[in-house]
Amino acid sequence: AWPWNRTAVNKSIKLKVNITEDLAFMVTETPLSEDQAINDSVRDNWKRLTATVLDSHELRYWLLSQGDAVEILSPKGMRSWFKEISNNMASLYKN
C-alpha cells in the first residue's frame, strides 16, 4: 500500500539531500526555494542541496521521480519513508 497516510505533509521542512551533478544543474536553473544552497558533497560527483520547502505530495513525487540521482538525508522521517519505498521497489524487481 502507498504509505501517504504516514507522511508529515503540508508543513515547512529543511530538506537536505545528496544529488548528482546533473540534477544540481537542473535545480540551479529551477530552484526549489529562495534559500536553496548547493555545496560539495562527501560523495564524488555529487552535490549537497539544502532548501526550506513544503513537505507535500508534489515534492515527494518529484523526489521519487529522480530515482537514484537523489539521496534523502533529512528530515529523518522522510528518509525512512524513502527507504521503505525503495525496499518495496527492490523486492518487486528481485527476479
For 32-63, write each residue's pLDDT tens digit.
999 999 999 888 899 999 999 999 989 999 99
80 has a pLDDT exceeding 90: yes
Average pLDDT over residues 21-36: 96
pTM: 0.85
- Per-residue confidence (pLDDT) for residue 1, from 0 to 100: 47
Distance from C-alpha of 57 to C-alpha of 36, rounded to nearest angstrom: 19
Alpha helix locations (H) across 1-95? Answer: 21-29, 57-65, 76-92
pLDDT band, very low/low/confident/very high, at 10 (cuts 50, 70, 90): confident
Specify the residue for cell string 524513502: 82
